[in-house]
Amino acid sequence: YLNSIMFGLVADDTVYLKVDDSNRQDYEAEEMGPFTYTGKRKPTQMSYYQLPENILEDQEQLKKWASKAIAVAEKTK
């Protein structure tokens, strides 16, 4: 969260950041997929995509990806 805005989540030791049409292609180019959980009847896909490990390990790139996720979260607030 940043200022009460959820822009990411961690599930099973995996980091996911908020996406929309403005940044989804970044994740897809790295072959990362969405966070999915099993709901009452079927799997449910959320608008959070897995952060590539190489981005997680690069502080400058992580700032850029997180900033984009924050911007997306602010738009959908």
Q: What is the pLDDT of residue 59?
A: 97
Beta bridge partners of 45: 36
Q: What is the pLDDT of residue 74?
A: 96
SS3 string of 32-66? CCEEEEECCCCEEEEEEEECCHHHHCCHHHHHHHH
Per-residue pLDDT of the chain (77 residues; tens, 9 = 90+): 999 999 999 999 999 999 999 999 999 999 999 999 987 888 999 999 999 999 999 999 999 999 999 999 999 87
In this prediction the pTM is 0.92
Contacts of 52 (CB under 8 A, 6+ apart): 27, 30, 32
CA–CA separation, 31 and 4 (whole Å): 29
| pLDDT for the residue 76 | 87
